[in-house]
């Protein structure tokens, strides 16, 4: 599910800097002249010589075709169920047409698990972030087929949604299922579950609210456990990994992995009072 993740929503505040290399024809500085003092860059700005600072997003764009059914779901259901991104606090009661516990989902893939959870938890509202257009279309199609009313979709980078649309203490829960594990060590810094994002999410949870992550990549599961365990206002609901909550279904993707002998790890933390 969130294995698209698609969203594949990765780190928050980490800036990966693309430094312009010096031209090979540049003349060396004169040895008789003292080197000019280099001023320290202002916080949050690129150092001198870094011409193209690159902000890491919480997702990776993936190619994919929108089917006829998904396109029709966009046309018929998009106006009702897609919430435009605006850099202003969200009014959940206005958006959902009711007041109910609010759960944020970051990256929902093709929406199979999202639709299931919304169906078995009709008393909760689900705000779901995904940028992959076929995935958004697929979830809209499921919404129509299953007559779901408690899902809204923001087709935008989840980091900006968290920063600008979700006030502190506004969430009852957060779901991040199967985010991109970025298997290579040199790419681990691109993983979504890192301390800056976890701190943002923890601050937006109400006391007693939960953060539920799941992955089928054990090294990433261990990192998740370590990062969440280091957040001072969160505490683990289990000793180590949690049992799979009954609301999270086994998707086709997950079942295929289990048949191949792959494991799946759930991590559930609560915000302290």
pLDDT > 70 in the chain, percent: 77
- Residue burial 40-56, b: 16+ Cβ < 10 Å; e: rest: eeeeeebeeeeeeeeeb
> At residue 10, does pLDDT exceed 60?
no
Q: How far apart are CA 96 and CA 112, in angstroms?
A: 21
Identify which of 170, 177, 179, 131 has the alpha carbon closest to the alpha carbon of residue 154: 131
> At residue 76, does pLDDT exceed 90?
yes
For residue 4, give both structure tokens: 């698209």
Q: What values do phi and psi take at 168, rounded to 5?
A: -60, 140
For 138-193, the pLDDT digits (tens) are 999 999 999 999 999 999 999 999 999 999 999 999 999 999 998 888 888 889 99
Report yes or no: 18 and 52 within 8 Å, Cβ to Cβ.
yes
Report yes or no: 251 and 113 within 8 Å, Cβ to Cβ.
yes
For residue 188, the model assigns a pLDDT of 86
Average pLDDT over residues 32-44: 44
Strand 102-106 and strand 52-55: the pairing is unpaired
> At residue 20, does pLDDT exceed 80?
no
Q: How far apart are CA 136 and CA 127, in angstroms?
A: 12
Identify whether 147 is a catalytic site residue.
no
**Which is the catalytic residue, given 123, 124, 157, 180?**
180
Report yes or no: 197 and 163 within 8 Å, Cβ to Cβ.
no
For residue 6, the model assigns a pLDDT of 40
Q: Which residue has the higher pLDDT, 55 or 187?
A: 187
For residue 64, the model assigns a pLDDT of 61
Instruction: Annotate 171-183 with DSSP letters as a single string.
Output: EEEEEEES-----
pTM of this structure: 0.77
Comparing 29-38, 101-110, 166-175, 194-203, which segment has the lowest mean pLDDT?
A: 29-38
Average pLDDT over residues 81-98: 98
Averaged pLDDT of the chain: 83
For residue 30, the model assigns a pLDDT of 37
For residue 208, the model assigns a pLDDT of 98
Burial class (CB in 10 A: 0-12, 13-18, 19+), 10: buried
Q: How far apart are CA 268 and CA 68, in angstroms?
A: 38
């Amino acid at each position: 599910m969130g294995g698209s993740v698609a969203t594949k929503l990765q780190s928050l505040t980490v800036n990966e800097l693309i430094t312009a290399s010096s031209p090979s024809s540049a003349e060396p500085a004169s040895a008789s002249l003292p080197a000019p003092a280099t001023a320290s860059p202002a916080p949050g700005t690129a150092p001198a010589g870094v011409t193209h600072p690159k902000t890491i997003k919480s997702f990776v764009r993936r190619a994919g075709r929108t089917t006829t059914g998904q396109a029709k779901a966009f046309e018929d259901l998009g106006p009702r169920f897609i919430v435009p991104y605006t850099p202003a606090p969200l009014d959940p009661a206005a958006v959902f047409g009711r007041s109910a516990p609010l759960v944020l989902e970051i990256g929902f893939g093709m929406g199979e698990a999202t639709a299931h959870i919304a169906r078995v938890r009709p008393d909760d509202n689900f705000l779901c972030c995904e940028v992959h257009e076929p995935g958004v279309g697929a979830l809209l199609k499921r919404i129509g087929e299953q007559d779901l009313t408690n899902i809204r979709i923001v087709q935008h980078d989840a980091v900006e949604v968290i920063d600008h649309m979700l006030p502190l203490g506004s969430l009852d829960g957060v779901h991040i299922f199967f985010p991109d594990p970025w298997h290579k060590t040199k790419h681990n810094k691109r993983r979504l579950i890192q301390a800056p994002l976890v701190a943002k999410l923890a601050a937006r949870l109400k006391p007693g609210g939960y953060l539920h992550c799941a992955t089928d990549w054990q090294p990433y599961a261990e990192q998740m456990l370590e990062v969440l365990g280091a957040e001072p206002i969160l505490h683990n609901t289990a000793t180590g990994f949690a049992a799979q909550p009954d609301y999270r279904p086994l998707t086709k993707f997950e079942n295929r992995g289990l048949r191949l002998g792959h494991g799946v790890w759930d991590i559930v933390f609560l915000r302290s009072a």
